[in-house]
Amino acid sequence: MRYRILLFICLLPILSCTHKELCYDAPKGRVSVNVKFVWDRAPEADPEQMSLYLYPLEGGEVERFDFSGREGGLIQINPGEYRAIGFNSDRETILLKDFEDFHNFKAYTNETDLEGVGIGSGISSGVPRTILAADDPLVLAPESFYSDAREDIKILPKADQEIVLHPFDRTMTITIDIREVKNLSSIRRMRGTLSGLNRYIYLKGIEENEYQAMIPFDLNKNGGTSLHEVVRTFAPTAKSGVKYSFSVYAWLASGARKYVHFDITDQIMAQKGEKNIHVVIDKLDIRDDGGNGGGFNASINTWEDVYSSIWM
């Protein structure tokens, strides 16, 4: 009996070493990692919720983690190499698609109509369009949206590790000013559209986008005889050859409807890369010369083109 006990004690170190080696080769358990969103690129941002998508480089399911506030927090993941996308997920107007593909993950907004009362129609029946955007869908303007992406994340089987992302604003603003509008008192309502804008953005970063859209919006009086509006849109694509247009639609007190299109490509291109682009129309004359039936559900024959010397 004593001999057996001594033999077991002598073999114990060998058995322990063998056990450690077997454990090292076994699949690793999940480790705690601190996710940190740093706002040096968008210090004004104050989202109520952030989300993180992790894409294992070796394949497998995409994992999503949500965080209250903008700071981040602790998550449990398996060691390995990952790609990551982080963004604020508290915006009602922002929709997501193709999340399972890191390179194709997109954000976009729903379709609407010119009057701003319908969701999903995309094109208002009978509304005359500029030839620069004859087929572009009408979509809602996005709210502010922040994202960042990384492709170099490596998580080891140890403690005290971080995933750090630096979200930045993926939207921009276009300020519209019409400085001299004649007969403004006879106009009951005015709407505008901007075309040549991005339909989607890729969350992994800025790149060319072949899909364009139009955004409709109200044009509000800015005192006296001027109109002013600030429109938020996704940051413009770097794609060459894109044409931009600004259209004005007016419902007059008599019931008449009038419209005019402006090619604003030169103004947009001269300010490409700016976070706020300023578009100026020097004058606009919309005369109320009689009714044509009124209402909003008009056929194309009820819209009258307004000649403008500003057309480029």
The whole-angstrom separation of Cα 68 and Cα 147 is 16
Q: What is the pLDDT of residue 42?
A: 97
Q: Give the list of residues 6+ apart from residue 12 with CB closer than 8 angstroms, or none.
A: none
Ordered strands of the 49-56 beta sheet? 63-68, 49-56, 80-88, 146-155, 168-169
Rounded-to-integer distance, Cα 66 and Cα 74, Å: 10
The tens digit of pLDDT for each residue in 256-309 reads: 888 999 999 999 989 988 999 999 999 898 887 765 443 333 333 477 777 544
- Separation of alpha carbons 245 and 308, rounded Å: 14
User: pLDDT higher for 270 or 3?
Assistant: 270
Per-residue pLDDT for 208 more than 50?
yes
Give dist(CA 290, CA 292) in Å, integer: 7
Task: Give residue 255's pLDDT band: very low, low, confident or very high (50, 70, 90).
Answer: confident
Q: At residue 16, does pLDDT exceed 50?
A: no
Strands of the 95-97 sheet, one edge to the other: 95-97, 106-108, 200-202
Alpha helices in the chain (DSSP H): 2-25, 265-270
Q: Is 159 exposed, middle or buried (0-12, 13-18, 19+ CB in 10 A)?
A: exposed
Instruction: Give me the residue spans of the domains in the chain.
Output: 31-154+163-305
Distance, CA of 53 to chain centre: 17
Encode pLDDT of 108-164 as tens digits.
999 998 876 544 444 455 677 776 677 788 999 999 999 999 999 999 999 899 999
For residue 176, what are the contacts with CB-CB under 8 A and spacing of at least 6? 192, 194, 219, 227, 228, 229, 230, 231, 246, 279, 281
Residue with tokens 């094109």: 123
pLDDT exceeds 90 at position 310: no
CB 31 within 8 A of CB 158: yes
Counting every residue written for the chain, the total comes to: 312
What region, left, alpha or beta, does residue 301 occupy, with left being phi > 0 and alpha being psi -120 to 50 degrees?
alpha
Torsion over CA of 306, 246, 94 and 173, rounded to 10 degrees?
-130
pLDDT for the residue numbered 132? 67
